[in-house]
Structure 1
């Protein structure tokens, strides 16, 4: 009986190693929530302001932050939208924010700007 438990534990550890050994946790992570390309900057700004006032960590998109992209509100809003979505999706949160955001299976991280992803 102890052997069966050891085999189960070994199998679980092997699976964990295979999934995470290459450093690509993203295999379990999609989706990310990003700005819609066809959304107007004005509507994105309204949603971004709301998200930042209601729990998203918008520090990284402030000037000097790793996700600050001068003149590209869609890139910066994507970070905030995703942060809020990842934070709320376990409790049923959606990725929409006034029809300015959409789900993506492609990791939008770039350079030092790392988008969070909550495996499920």
Structure 2
């Protein structure tokens, strides 16, 4: 996974919040693994049908 976009100077660094960066990383992981059963974030994330690009500028 390439988390460069959420690193300092990256196109998705702002907003610089743990929630925003985690949402980006979790979405990237989910997108690369194909189905919700491959993602277990120990109850720190939820599966949603909402497209993150509608509320995150870098999803």
Structures share fold, TM-score greater than 0.5? yes
Could you give the per-residue CA deviations for residues 70-109 of structure 1, whole angstroms, max 9, x where no partner exists? 2x1011111111111111125x512x31211111222222
Indicate which of 84, 91, 98 corresponds to 2:29: 84
> Which structure dedicates a bigger proportion of its chain to helix?
1
Provide the aligned length of Structure 1 versus Structure 2.
55
Q: Return the alpha-carbon distance in structure 1 between the equivalents of residues 11 and 50 of structure 2.
A: 19
Question: Is 1:58 paired with 2:3?
Answer: yes
Q: CA RMSD in A?
A: 1.7
**Match among 34, 40, 46 for residue 102 of structure 1:** 46
Shift >4 Å, 4+ stretches: none
Segments of structure 1 that go 5 or more residues without pairing to the other structure are 1-55, 116-120
> Which structure is richer in relative contact order (CA contacts within 8 A, separation 6 or more)?
1
Give how far 1:67 is off. Answer: 1.6
Larger proportion of strand: 1
Unaligned runs of 5+ in 2: none
